[in-house]
Structure 1
Amino acid sequence: MGPNDGYICQFSPDVRTFWAERHRPALGATFKQAAGASGGRAPPRAPLSEDAFFAQVAEGFQATDTIQTGRMIAAEAGAAGPPLSTVPSASWSLTITPKAGWGATSGPSQQATAGWLSVLPVFEPHWQVLMAHGEASGWFQWGGQRYEFSGAPAYAEKNWGGGFPSRWHWVQCNTFDGQPGLSVTAVGARRGLVLGLPGVEEDVGLIGVHLPGGEFVEMVPWNSELEWDVDPWGRWWIRAINSSYEALIEATCEPEAGTVLRAPTTASGLAPFCKDTFFGRCRLRLWRRSGAGKQGAPLMDATSSTAALEVGGGPWWSGWRAKADMKEPFRSLVQLPLDVGGLSRGLPDLLKPPGL
């Protein structure tokens, strides 16, 4: 997805040149090597400098927590659905400075978005916010238009599993007016449970707020009550309450905003399955709650006109009103005070779970 809610897709069923590092966020793929770069040399399988990447890769990409580089063409043959690309090609090179991951910015380590159970093949799919807020600098060539920028807001997440949820909605914003350092990520999803429970799904959700100054407010199904009311397109209402906080997100966009994107599905592979816009209007309100459970004065009341909004899966014939209901025994298990990262710290890399 690109400027003005544009879209480009380069599809390839060949995964042999895809690579990913086991214990840090780094991945990439080469669709086509640059002229003169093959000569018996294998495609790269580790991050390269910008110059080295473009010298070796005619079509492909690489991404880590601090760089993103790529060049691609519109090539949708083999992907489900009609052609959707709005430009013939795109290329980019960015350097990224992470500001907030998923957890307090002053903490010794970050948190698993779905809790410690993320290291097990329990949920379908798994989801991790890698960078709730960051700053990106570099250039982006979108068709015939070149953009150069410095300190632009950045966000990154990771999904893994067989396919995206059967239904979901998502709101992300780190560009609130007059509130540098404020970020919110919210989601509601109908996900599968794959550990011995085929065909069983559950509705889960969360609201995560990184406040200016580094404090992190995490409202998840095992510590909060979450509910949402989301239209097929154009309106998002998400609320969470626990003993310490209450959060409310209200977001809207114009009916004509957004574009249909392909996403991984278990039934049809990469297929048109969601709709996104970067031109959402978002209001975030956050209150502290007293010991008596009463709502106090607003801790935060912020707005933005550049929120990222999404709906996916479905079908979305009508609005979706639901409450998060995480099933047992997972709801109890995820609350166990296990530090999987700490427990695995002394293990050889080959014995560590991927991602740690």
Structure 2
Amino acid sequence: MANPLQTPHSGYHGYGINTRFFEGWYYRVTLPDCGDTFAFMYSIDDRTGGKPDSGGAAQILGPDDGYLCRTFPKVNQFWASRTSLALGHWGKTDLKISPQYLDSATFDRHIQEGYQATATWNQGKIRDWHSPSNSYCRWQYEIKPIYGWGNPGNVQQSTAGWLSYFQIFEPGWQVLMAHGLATGWIDWHGKRYEFTNAPAYIEKNWGQSFPQKWFWINCNSFDNQPNLALTAGGGRRGVLWWMESVAMIGIHYEGKFYEFVPWNSEISWQIQPWGNWAIQARNSQYEVELVGTTDRAGTFVRTPTQEGLIFICRDTTYGKLTIELRCRRLAMPSQFYGKSKTILKAFTSLAGLEVGGNKG
């Protein structure tokens, strides 16, 4: 395997599927020096074409929760690997070849609009032709993976467990890279951001529908904790012919993976429609508490639905978040019985916080 941290589900799932189907990818890079974040969201819907919602899109959540979106209606200009994380979509181009990965210089010269992304590279350019200011973004940066999803050195794990190999849950979800380091540049409306070894993150989802309602927390840029990455999420999702409410927390810290999932932990959560996120979990060895808040209005981004891409997902990348991870007394030597031991307590004001669903 070219990438030893490659996770399950890294390849594109949509080949050979003729029914309604979407797949989406999320690339994030955080710039601690200036306190800004860029989140790149790529999606392809009904790739076989000929349906009302067939097509792709690239959305960007930028500084000050700014937003930019460009659609790519030609599904035959999308490409993706079946076996690894690699995809792209061309918009305007003078090339007459089939869509494929290009070296960065060739892409920059011949692709007027579009993107290409892998486990180690993210590049593209889009423009909002309808905005009075002709808002645009150009970007290219390389990525060095640090954590996939699981303990380093071990086979990487499915975020939703082994059942995610079957079309049981809607949608499928996979953290592709919990933490990495990005080096490159982003040109946002004429302002150029250059960065070296900035925290980076990648995930994806796929299926025929999104959850009825969901929440999500993510950060790998904590104060004075360069080797800490957190992803948590939950919601009401489809399971075969019924619905269930589930949640999970995954933490990579100092080379170790702490996983709190329904099959090994008790998890509870209190999520307000907007502004406050609280999640608690514990298993036989560890317990964790997350508290996220924001006083920002956030930004609505588009999400695939049965009605196509619509604004039912609300995000900010400036969330305040505290995390406390403790070792439970039952898992420690007898001299510690009667109290838990704090492994980690950390804070950030650069967390990704999200709620979504039928009521936003």
Q: TM-score normalized by structure 2?
A: 0.78
Q: Distance in 2 between matches of 1:75 and 1:225?
A: 49
- The one-letter code of the counterpart of 1:186 is A
Aligned AA (2:104): E
- Distance in 2 (CA, whole Å) between partners of 1:86 and 1:273 is 26
Matched with 1:250 is 291
Contact 2:296 2:316 in 1 (8 A): no
Q: Deviations over 1:207-247 (max 9, x none)?
A: 101011x1100000111111110111111000111111111
CA distance in 2 between counterparts of 1:49 and 1:142 reads 22
State the shift of 1:290 in Å: 2.6
SS at match of 2:92: strand
Other-structure match for 2:67: 7
Contact 1:87-1:142 within 8 A present in 2 as well: no
Distance in 2 between residues matched to 1:274 and 1:98, nearest whole Å: 28
Offset of residue 295 of structure 1: 5.2
Structure 1 residue 89 and structure 2 residue 136: aligned? Answer: yes
For the 8 Å contact 1:245–1:286, the answer to whether it is kept is: yes
Matches within 5 A, 1:129-144: 129-144=175-190
Aligned to 1:338: none
State the Cα deviation string for residues 135-154 of structure 1 (Å, max 9, x = none). Answer: 11111111121111111111
Letter in 2 for 1:211: Y
Identity %: 45
AA aligned opposite 1:181: N
Q: 3-state SS of the aligned residue for 1:58?
A: coil
Hey, what does 1:20 align to over in structure 2?
Answer: 80
Structure 1 pair 206–157 and aligned structure 2 pair: CA distance change class (3 A): same
Q: How far off its partner does 1:49 sit?
A: 1.5
Q: Match for residue 264 of structure 1?
A: 304
Name the CA distance, whole Å, in 1 between partners of 2:193 and 2:354: 24
Query: How many Å separate the matches in 2 of 1:111 and 1:205?
Result: 17
After superposition, the C-alpha distances for 1:181-219 in whole angstroms (9 at most, x for unaligned) are 11111101111123xx2xx2111110101011x110000
- Please, which runs of 5 or more residues in structure 2 have no aligned partner? 1-60, 332-336
CA distance in 2, matches of 1:114, 1:296: 28
**C-alpha spacing 1:124/1:94, structure 2 compared with 1 (3 Å):** same
Q: Which residue of 2 aligns with 1:146?
A: 192
Provide the C-alpha distance between the structure 2 equivalents of 1:264 and 1:88, rounded to a whole number of angstroms.
24
**1:313 match:** 357
Contact 1:226 1:240 (C-alpha < 8 Å) held by counterparts: yes
1:324 matched residue in structure 2: none
Q: Which has the higher strand share?
A: 2
Q: How many residues align?
A: 295
Structure 1 residue aligned with 2:47: none
> RMSD value over aligned CA atoms?
1.8
**Structure 1 residue runs of 4+, over 3 Å off?**
292-295
Task: Give how far 1:43 is off.
Answer: 4.2
Offset at 1:19? 0.8
Query: For the structure 1 residues 31 and 241, does the alpha-carbon distance in structure 2 shift closer, same or farther, using more than 3 Å as the test?
Result: same
Helix, strand or coil at the partner of 2:77 = coil
In 1: Cα distance, 2:126 partner to 2:359 partner:
31
Alpha-carbon separation, structure 1, partners of 2:204 and 2:272? 25
Does 1:59 find its partner at 2:113?
Answer: yes
